[in-house]
Amino acid sequence: MQLKNRKRNPNLSKYDAPLKIQFSRGMNDFKRGKLNNPYHPNSMQGREWERGFNMSYFQRLERVKQNEVRRGS
């Protein structure tokens, strides 16, 4: 059985765990209006920051949708 040649990012390993600090910083940056990722976008830290930022965005979006339905807008 031959292994497939896959391109892997040399900065990331399959054992990298989610990084709580970068995740929470991404959530806080969204709430404060800071839109620039302070980490390299292709690093594990950058991806976790973006995941936190996106999580905060979608939570806010759901809250806005619920308020619009309630108001009847």
DSSP, residue by residue, 18-71? P-HHHHHHHHHHHHHT--S-SS-TTSHHHHHHHHHHHHHHHHHHHHHHHHHHHH
Q: Residue 67's domain spans which residues? A: 20-71
8 has a pLDDT exceeding 80: no
Q: What is the tens place of the pLDDT at every residue in 54-66?
A: 999 999 999 999 9
Q: For residues 2 and 19, what is the distance between their CA atoms, to the nearest angstrom?
A: 34
pTM score: 0.71
Q: Look at the chain and report how many structural domains it folds into.
A: 1
Q: Residue 57 domain-assigned?
A: yes
Residue 17 has which token pair? 């765990």
Q: Residue 25 domain-assigned?
A: yes
Question: Which residues, 6 or more positions from 57, have their beta carbon under 8 angstroms from its beta carbon?
Answer: 30
